Structure 1
Amino acid sequence: MKTVRKITLTTLLGAALVSVSALASAGDKPAREFSSPYTSLRLMNAGKQSGVWHSGVYITMQKGWKTYWRVPGDGGVPPSFDWSGSENVETTKVMMPLPHRFTDENGEGIGYKTEVVFPVDVKPKDPSRPARLDLKIFYAVCNDICVPVQAQVQVDIDANSVSASDKFRLRVARAAVPVEPDAGRLAVTSLKQIEVDGKMALEVSLKGIQSPADADIFVEAAGNSYFRKPELVSQSGGVDTWRIAVDSYGDAVSLAGKPVRLTIADGDTGLVHEGVLQ
């Protein structure tokens, strides 16, 4: 089994040819947008619904470049969001659209190419007043090289700054966020740890997948393990079964009896299941 390389901030900074940084100096007001030769980002405002402002982080990259999901694979780093400088903000909830799996010289990665919008629900402390979002973000963009990016951006969230284009982009991005399936849409008939040739693996059986041959399963679990691309091993009676190899950064540990989260890509539809491994 391939050895997993866990790329941290330190190793990424050492490997990159260029580090892009745009953090505001003391007394400077952060801009709404950040731009570099490799990537740009800005904060969005699509207005308020049910007392919650709909914002987002819009990241663009050069063609062919990519950034990463919260589980980045064995060749990337997840984005990090710091909203502590915001004003009149009680909570922020960052959502991530359904990612894609890709393979390059860094190994197997999970994330997004060219552009991505991370929707953000913003609950104000005082609903009668505008809010100010202040984001310090760290993320990585990769092609032949990986470039770490640190930036600080800010936007006033009020009725005057609502953007029609932001409404459209955020509507599309929110529709791509994986959700718990409606009753009858998906059934997990089996979720267990198995051993294959002396190595740990997961076996996942699902009922209700519409495109089994093209489906993907992204696994999240506590601890230092990475779950590789699933292999479709059987189909019977409308139930499809996948086997997922497990790599561990440290000593292999049993995951039986522990909670796991499955994000299931069924075509363009993302479904989420949280369960416990047998």
Structure 2
Amino acid sequence: MKRLQTAAIALLFLPAAATAATSSWVETPGGDVRLVVLPAGADGAARAMLDIRLHEGWKTYWRDPGGSGIPPSITVSGATLTSIGFPAPRRLGDDTNHYIGYDAPVRLPMKLGGAVGGTVTATVFLGVCKDICIPVQADLTVETGGEGFTNPLEETAVAAAEATLPGTAGDGFRPLGGQWSADGKTISVRFEAPADGDHADVFLSGAPFEFGAAGPVRREGDAFVSDVPVLHRPKVFDLAKNPIRLTLRAGEKTMEGPLAVK
């Protein structure tokens, strides 16, 4: 018992530098943001997240807002941003002014490389909206030169953020392919989904393309189909190198994977 008490007391006096690196919250009327970076592993890479604490009634945008809105922009100095994940979004707004995003607090998990250590700054630009839209621009800075211990609360928060990401494709819930329309302004998306797939939400993304809100889902044989407007199609693109990604939400299940378009 004495050993346990001694260990517990010792944990209380661990130096602050031995925990995950967390920036201060940058506060705005519509939502607050902060950066969390966990200690780097042996390879110098680190798990991290952008924590967006939306206030009640406010919304923010997905990586492709659907033709209306500001996609989040994140650049990192002091490390290399190797990946950023987005939970499956929702269609928001109304029939005349719709967009794609989040209407609740959201955490975007990231992975940082480049021998993370020292000062890391994430420069963030995003839009938060209620009756009006407010651009949020912030430099979120953390010091990552600690001793490599992880604050259990921050570790849990980053793990929870990672758990919100869409799953990978599998039998019964997967992309089947896409077909360009003759004028190139629409992609017909075919996919497998659970029995209620005709109520699925369909989202496409893939810079430098821009996509609108998907049309109603219909059943064709054993597959479901939805037509997605292409708002911007570059003159030159290589889908083998930068594929279009399909994100699906069917009830509480979400999936994301590359879509083969022909």
Q: Structure 1-normalised TM-score?
A: 0.71
Superposed displacement of residue 82, structure 1: 1.8
| Separation in structure 2 between the aligned mates of residue 163 and residue 106 of structure 1, nearest angstrom | 46
Question: Is 1:37 paired with 2:16?
Answer: no
Residues 125/46 of structure 1: CA separation in 2 closer, same or farther (3 Å cut): closer
Q: Match for 1:65 among 54, 58, 61?
A: 58
| Deviation by residue 1:241-271 (Cα, 9 ceiling, x = unmatched) | 2233x15369x98x9x885321222333332
Q: How does 1:255-270 map to 2 (within 5 A)?
A: 259-270=243-254
| Separation in structure 2 between the aligned mates of residue 189 and residue 153 of structure 1, nearest angstrom | 40
Residues 153/213 of structure 1: CA separation in 2 closer, same or farther (3 Å cut): same
Equivalent position of 1:153 in the other structure: 140
Q: Match for 1:214 among 184, 199, 202?
A: 199
Q: Match for 1:123 among 96, 113, 117?
A: 113
| Separation in structure 1 between the aligned mates of residue 133 and residue 95 of structure 2, nearest angstrom | 11
Equivalent position of 1:97 in the other structure: 87
- Asked whether the 8 Å contact 2:177–2:190 carries over to 1, the reply is yes
Structure 2 unaligned runs (5+)? 1-22
Q: Match for 1:136 among 99, 123, 139?
A: 123
Instruction: Identify the structure with the greater strand proportion.
Output: 1
- Could you say what secondary structure the match of 2:181 adopts? strand
Q: Paired residues, what number?
A: 237
- Could you say what secondary structure the match of 1:173 adopts? helix
| Separation in structure 2 between the aligned mates of residue 106 and residue 161 of structure 1, nearest angstrom | 50
Equivalent position of 1:109 in the other structure: 99
| Separation in structure 2 between the aligned mates of residue 79 and residue 224 of structure 1, nearest angstrom | 15
Residues 169/214 of structure 1: CA separation in 2 closer, same or farther (3 Å cut): farther
After superposition, the CA RMSD in angstroms is: 3.3
Equivalent position of 1:5 in the other structure: none
- Could you say what secondary structure the match of 1:72 adopts? coil
Residues 192/47 of structure 1: CA separation in 2 closer, same or farther (3 Å cut): same
| Separation in structure 2 between the aligned mates of residue 92 and residue 181 of structure 1, nearest angstrom | 22
| Separation in structure 2 between the aligned mates of residue 185 and residue 166 of structure 1, nearest angstrom | 35
* Amino acid paired to 1:67: T
Superposed displacement of residue 189, structure 1: 3.4
- Asked whether the 8 Å contact 2:88–2:249 carries over to 1, the reply is yes
Residues 131/261 of structure 1: CA separation in 2 closer, same or farther (3 Å cut): same
Residues 114/160 of structure 1: CA separation in 2 closer, same or farther (3 Å cut): same
Superposed displacement of residue 200, structure 1: 4.2
Q: How does 1:192-271 map to 2 (within 5 A)?
A: 192-194=179-181, 200-209=185-194, 211-221=196-206, 225-236=210-221, 238-244=222-228, 246=229, 248=231, 259-271=243-255
| Separation in structure 2 between the aligned mates of residue 70 and residue 225 of structure 1, nearest angstrom | 10
- Could you say what secondary structure the match of 2:254 adopts? strand
- Asked whether the 8 Å contact 2:190–2:226 carries over to 1, the reply is yes
Q: Structure 2-normalised TM-score?
A: 0.75
Superposed displacement of residue 221, structure 1: 4.6
- Could you say what secondary structure the match of 2:139 adopts? strand
